[in-house]
Amino acid sequence: MVGEVGKAKIMALEKLGEDEIFERIASGVSLASIKREFNIGHKLWAKWLDASDGRRGRYQAAQLEAGHFYAERALETAQLAERDNVNVARLQVDTDKWMASKLNAQYDTRQRDVAINISVNDLHAQAAQLLGNVIEGEVFEDDD
């Protein structure tokens, strides 16, 4: 249940409007900045997202767009880096790449581990099939 203070904070979000809020997010304004501006926490933000049908999906679409913003900014920072600011630029690029990968999976370049399951019974069956020409301890050789 949301108290009077929470209702007032949600009304402030409603007054600004969903389109404006999501446009800010899509253009790189962090959710933390928006929550700080409206003095709301994660639970109240989640309540606001779920208060309107489809709003959470529109928020996720804004996040995907924000991923593009951070990727573009990382590229621009790298291209504009100069000898005297290269270490700062590297940190900015790494941060923006990380943000882009968290907001939009297409920018996640980490290598994925592939899980492989091996059944010992399957290995035994395959070995028995391969050794089908072994009968009672004797190996029959091809007559070549």
Per-residue pLDDT of 79-102, as tens digits, reads 999 999 999 999 999 999 999 999
Give domain status of residue 13, yes or no: yes
**Average of per-residue pLDDT values in the chain:** 88
Contact between residue 38 and residue 9 where contact means Cβ atoms under 8 Å apart: yes
What's the pTM? Answer: 0.70
Q: Which residues contact 47 (CB under 8 A, 6 or more apart)?
A: 2, 6, 10
- In the chain, the number of structural domains is 1
List the domain range (segments joined by +) for residue 96.
Answer: 4-107
Helix, strand, or coil here: 82?
Answer: coil
CATH code of the domain in which 82 resides: 1.10.10.60
Give domain status of residue 34, yes or no: yes
| Residue 29 reports pLDDT greater than 90 | yes
Q: What is the pLDDT of residues 131-140, one digit of tens each?
A: 775 555 555 5
